[in-house]
A and B are shown apart, each in its own frame.
Chain A
């Protein structure tokens, strides 16, 4: 018996939740649950975890595009069936992990992955550029200011070598969110690429009264820039609409989220901002948010060269100058942000000076500073 469209509620099953995680543990994981003693990264992308039982598990970490087909998943399953007794896992950062219970099984697994072309890059461990956490962009999202998968592909092609090696001073976690809603939680990343709009919303008087709750559109604006307005539509009827005070608009797009008749995306208006220096780990310094250092770079598909070069420039300036263990934000705080801009060769603009809420927290209120080229 399958689904019966005439009787959709028949035998309905709901609220059963996900399958229990324990079903999916390979034996070496199940047997050593909570018994792990230490780990070692034996080569880039390969981790060894040692248990107090003496068991070892070797994990091979493979970068993935996140946007993947079921043919690709089936291929991952083929690898897992052949080498890992039919088990595998995915990480928070869109990597795939294959686990084996003996060192001798590692090389055949690596050979297998290598033999399948350039689709299974091994890496993403230690002081590397991690796989990029990202959002949907033009493949599925209705409010993006840039693409996601395309930009990430272009950036990772350029930084590929940093994913498969561990030659940076510390780890660098990257993320991309295609609009200010930040589904990709980019706001606490070492390097974040963020889709931004720069044109205020248009108001479509022909559709607004049919598709929008006007009070919700008005209250969606954090700066009170959206006000009620009487308008006349093409049919000559007087309708309730809104006006936008463009001078007040900060291009957050929250009005469009609430009201489809206020689109703001635009080929020239939209692009990417670059934010740096965030982290979530409590290790050494406290978790911090990323800071806006480049306010705008154009959307230039298919390879976003301006974004790729900006990210690479920051990464390499940090790699050259930072001390061991120093994340990008820790480095920038130590040398001072004025030095950060100088060393990264990024022009400092007024766009990096906060004028939104709680802005005062970021203004400098000490006589301590460094004489960089910014002081004429």
Chain B
């Protein structure tokens, strides 16, 4: 494949941020279809429009997900990208790698594709970007046989689950995010690889309410770690914070905004105002705490989450298409996330949702939209969950309650003649 003239792409080689253009040019030495990627990109920059055809259904035998088909609409000009399918590899939970494995992926992709990747896709997959249809089966064979590695999800499947790095390197993690992410990924391989749902379904697992994988904003089913006892306080460390020995927010905020000040930076920013100083001791009324994490983030050496740990189950988050964005709705305030029971409690809720949604969900309807359509009361009934105030921000503001006949004394069957005998028109 020859080089193309790419003045606009070349402009993006300047500047301090890593340049994908420089990188593409380097890769083109080994995979010369990269010249055509650059060429077609340049054309898009000139035309201010994409040059990929709509859709393209390709895959590997027996799977209905993991490969996204893509074809150029200018293949004569750029034959190297006539086919430009992506392959989604299910990333190892929390994206740790060793170089031996990564190099094997690189070798595979040098042979079987363009050599370009996304590290990583938004959902979490390791994305191999750009290959031809005839390469897909050999690639899948080598991936499974030589690397013992499998594809992730796409389409109306369970999408590749993702999690934060949890207990691997974070003191805040209240649940073992990797264990639950990997465990459920393995349990639901069929759902990841073969479409059986009305639409996509995403799992995400965050270790604490800081929610570093943005589970609450984008996953149909999320677990967000929390605790139900008291924040652990190390009063000796509190004293050192007060004495100015430690920096703001573990050093994350500049002292140009002022030195650490426990009243200003912690106590006054607590959303429930449940903290105060008594002499040199920090006191917390834990019954009033909503576990927002601010105080713990601000002084991690002194404060830690409690010891009775579990997760909140949030359901139905999605981006705005079509009726508007939804955050995950609180469904179960506290569940145990226990690897020893194979996450029995979590699995119970997941399968309850799926059984129902596969029955009533409409084509291309996310579960959050189904929840909106039937209403939270109906959803809670389906889930066999007792309604509690934690399910709502505030009670409803209209009186339009769907009473059931059996809830009303005497039922709904009445005689209008008897009524009329007493109440003339």
* A156 CB contacts on chain B under 8 angstroms: 17
Q: Is the CB of B37 within 8 A of A139?
A: yes
Distance from B422 Cβ to chain A, minimum over Cβ atoms (Å): 42
* B20 CB contacts on chain A under 8 angstroms: 65, 67-68, 149, 153
Interface centre among B15, B16, B52 (most CB of A within 10 A): B16
- Report the bound CA distance from A63 to B120 in whole Å: 13
B251 close to chain A: CB less than 8 A: yes
Residue of chain A at shortest CB distance from B248: A324
Q: Is the CB of B11 within 8 A of A33?
A: no
Q: Is the CB of A299 within 8 A of B48?
A: yes
Distance from A141 Cβ to chain B, minimum over Cβ atoms (Å): 6
Q: Which A residues, 118 to 144, have Cβ-Cβ distances below 8 Å to chain B? A: 118-121, 125-127, 133, 135-144
* B49 CB contacts on chain A under 8 angstroms: 138, 265-267, 270
A23 close to chain B: CB less than 8 A: yes
* B94 CB contacts on chain A under 8 angstroms: 21, 89
Q: How would residues 256 to 289 of chain B score, 1 for a CB under 8 Å from any chain A CB and 0 otherwise?
A: 1110000011000101000000000000000000
With contact pairs A17-B186, A21-B92, A139-B41 given, residues A284 and B271 touching in the complex (Cβ less than 8 Å): yes
Segment of A39-47, A309-317, A341-349 in the binding face: A39-47
* A260 CB contacts on chain B under 8 angstroms: 53-55
- Report the bound CA distance from A135 to B61 in whole Å: 28
- Report the bound CA distance from A284 to B296 in whole Å: 11
A243 close to chain B: CB less than 8 A: no
- Report the bound CA distance from A15 to B70 in whole Å: 24
* A289 CB contacts on chain B under 8 angstroms: 217, 325, 327
- Report the bound CA distance from A301 to B21 in whole Å: 14
A53 close to chain B: CB less than 8 A: no
Q: From A24, A133, A256, A324, give the contact of B98 (CB < 8 A).
A: A24
Q: How many A-B residue contacts, CB cutoff 8 Å?
A: 397
With contact pairs A64-B18, A127-B252, A166-B254 given, residues A303 and B99 touching in the complex (Cβ less than 8 Å): no
- Report the bound CA distance from A184 to B321 in whole Å: 13
A375 close to chain B: CB less than 8 A: no
* B99 CB contacts on chain A under 8 angstroms: 77, 80-81, 86-88
Q: Is the CB of B214 within 8 A of A185?
A: yes
Q: Is the CB of A325 within 8 A of B150?
A: no
* A121 CB contacts on chain B under 8 angstroms: 16-18
- Place the interface of chain B in its size category: 35 or more
- Report the bound CA distance from A126 to B247 in whole Å: 12
Segment of A4-12, A224-232, A234-242 in the binding face: A4-12
Q: Is the CB of A187 within 8 A of B319?
A: yes
Q: Is the CB of B149 within 8 A of A324?
A: no
Residue of chain A at shortest CB distance from B257: A324
Distance from A366 Cβ to chain B, minimum over Cβ atoms (Å): 16
Interface centre among A71, A77, A188 (most CB of B within 10 A): A71
A287 close to chain B: CB less than 8 A: yes
* B53 CB contacts on chain A under 8 angstroms: 142, 260
* A21 CB contacts on chain B under 8 angstroms: 92-94, 96, 168, 178, 182
- Report the bound CA distance from A15 to B260 in whole Å: 52
Q: Is the CB of B251 within 8 A of A41?
A: yes
B137 close to chain A: CB less than 8 A: yes
Q: What is the total number of residues of chain A having a CB less than 8 Å from a CB of chain B?
A: 133
* B327 CB contacts on chain A under 8 angstroms: 188, 287, 289
Q: From B27, B150, B217, give the contact of A69 (CB < 8 A).
A: B27
- Report the bound CA distance from A144 to B310 in whole Å: 40
Distance from A300 Cβ to chain B, minimum over Cβ atoms (Å): 8
Distance from B366 Cβ to chain A, minimum over Cβ atoms (Å): 12
Q: Which A residues, 80 to 136, have Cβ-Cβ distances below 8 Å to chain B? A: 80-81, 86-92, 94, 96, 99, 118-121, 125-127, 133, 135-136
- Report the bound CA distance from A235 to B335 in whole Å: 64
With contact pairs A138-B50, A157-B16, A289-B325 given, residues A88 and B252 touching in the complex (Cβ less than 8 Å): no
Q: Is the CB of A67 within 8 A of B118?
A: yes
Interface centre among A13, A89, A280, A301 (most CB of B within 10 A): A280
Q: Is the CB of A287 within 8 A of B300?
A: no
* B178 CB contacts on chain A under 8 angstroms: 21-22
B350 close to chain A: CB less than 8 A: no
B336 close to chain A: CB less than 8 A: no
Segment of B82-90, B382-390, B400-408, B411-419 in the binding face: B82-90
With contact pairs A40-B251, A90-B119, A139-B37 given, residues A283 and B294 touching in the complex (Cβ less than 8 Å): yes
* A136 CB contacts on chain B under 8 angstroms: 118
B376 close to chain A: CB less than 8 A: no
* A187 CB contacts on chain B under 8 angstroms: 217, 319-320, 325
Interface centre among A5, A14, A25, A139 (most CB of B within 10 A): A139
Q: Which A residues, 170 to 224, have Cβ-Cβ distances below 8 Å to chain B? A: 170-171, 177, 180-188, 216, 222
With contact pairs A88-B97, A254-B321 given, residues A281 and B122 touching in the complex (Cβ less than 8 Å): no
Q: Is the CB of A20 within 8 A of B301?
A: no
* A281 CB contacts on chain B under 8 angstroms: 209-211, 293
The 5 sampled A-B contact pairs (Cβ below 8 Å) are A38-B250, A92-B213, A142-B52, A167-B256, A185-B218
* Ranked 10 nearest A-B pairs via Cβ: A126-B252, A157-B15, A260-B54, A69-B27, A267-B48, A3-B141, A182-B319, A282-B209, A15-B189, A138-B44
